[in-house]
Amino acid sequence: MTTKIIMDTDPGIDDAAAIAVAINNPEIELELISTVAGNVTVDKTTKNAMKLVKFFNANVPVAGGAEQPLIKPFEDAARVHGESGMPGYDFGPEPTDIPVNNAVDTLYKTIMANEEPIVLVPTGSYTNVALLLKEHPDVKSKIEKVVAMGGSIGMGNMTSAAEFNVFTDPHAAEILYKSGVPIVMVGLDVTMKALLTQKTLDTIKTLGKPGEMLGAIFSHYYEGHEGGIPMHDVNTLAYLLKPEMYQTTPYWIDVVTEGPAIGETVADIRGAYHNEKTNAEVCVNIDADAFNEWFIDEVKKMKA
């Protein structure tokens, strides 16, 4: 039994690792990769997605999406992911036929064409997803759930309050969390614990061409922490494939869209403001050792 998913993403180093898992794991059917401005500009994230599809000889369509957040001015994360978004490895000639501004239409057509509801996995800002939900509300019945990397009920990484994906387009995040679709929030509460250790990084580099590629781009990832490097976006796939590694709690999540706390995701932990209703299953803890072992096993499955 496989799970059909669509990734909406902004590769980005950890996004690249998540795409690699999605392409190569036999329990996942990756129907589409749509791209958005986030870690770098959308022309670069689209090229990076195309490079990965070619690298793994995968038959997965790529659709380019939003160049800007809905309202807030765009700020990239090139300081973390490098100017190209995926530095450190030579993927060969740059893609030339770049699909642009067709992500929302392609998302809609792909989701509606499937007989069964599909899982949507956004690992960048949620601009494309928000536009899809606003322009095509009938799509909601065909989305099984959204497993979204982003947010935090603790400390942020763009400000003391806000995580990068939600900070990039808080108005899009607000639309998602008010949409009524089932949501799993995979935020900093777990991704900052799911650090790839140096031992894991050393092992990955020995695992053939895919391991060489991942090891090369990981070495240019400017988000090292004591104990290792975070693989934020990979956690979405890990949750789908190994949910037992995660502890979750249902909360109502509100998104701050203005002021100094813009981009903060606020959990109604007392159930005091929404009549004890919830709108998200929030990942709050993870078995980090199991995550490291799982990721090594995933890289062993990759073929290029």
d(CA 174, CA 33): 23
The answer to whether residue 232 is catalytic is: yes
Find the catalytic residue in 136, 171, 232, 274: 232
The C-alpha angle with vertex 300 and arms to 207 and 144, in degrees rounded to 5, equals: 140
| C-alpha pair distances (Å), 158 with each of 24, 64, 162, 167, 285 | 31, 25, 6, 7, 21
Q: In sequence order, which ranges of the chain are alpha helices (DSSP H)?
A: 13-24, 42-55, 78-81, 103-113, 127-135, 164-168, 170-177, 188-191, 198-204, 208-218, 234-241, 288-301
What residues contact residue 303 under an 8 Å CB cut-off, 6+ apart? Answer: 24, 56, 57, 208, 210
The burial class, CB within 10 Å (0-12 / 13-18 / 19+), for 10 is buried
Total length of the chain: 304
The residues near 68 (Cβ < 8 Å, ≥ 6 apart) are 37, 74, 127
Residue type, 147: V
Contact 201, 169 (CB under 8 A): no
Residue 88, preceding peptide bond in cis (omega within 30° of 0): no
Is residue 10 within 8 A of residue 65, CB to CB? The reply is: no
Please give the structure tokens belonging to residue 106. Answer: 């392609």
Taking CA atoms, 219 is separated from 196, 214, 238, 260, 297, in Å, by 12, 9, 22, 33, 20
For tokens 């959204």, the residue is 146
Residue positions annotated with a catalytic role: 232
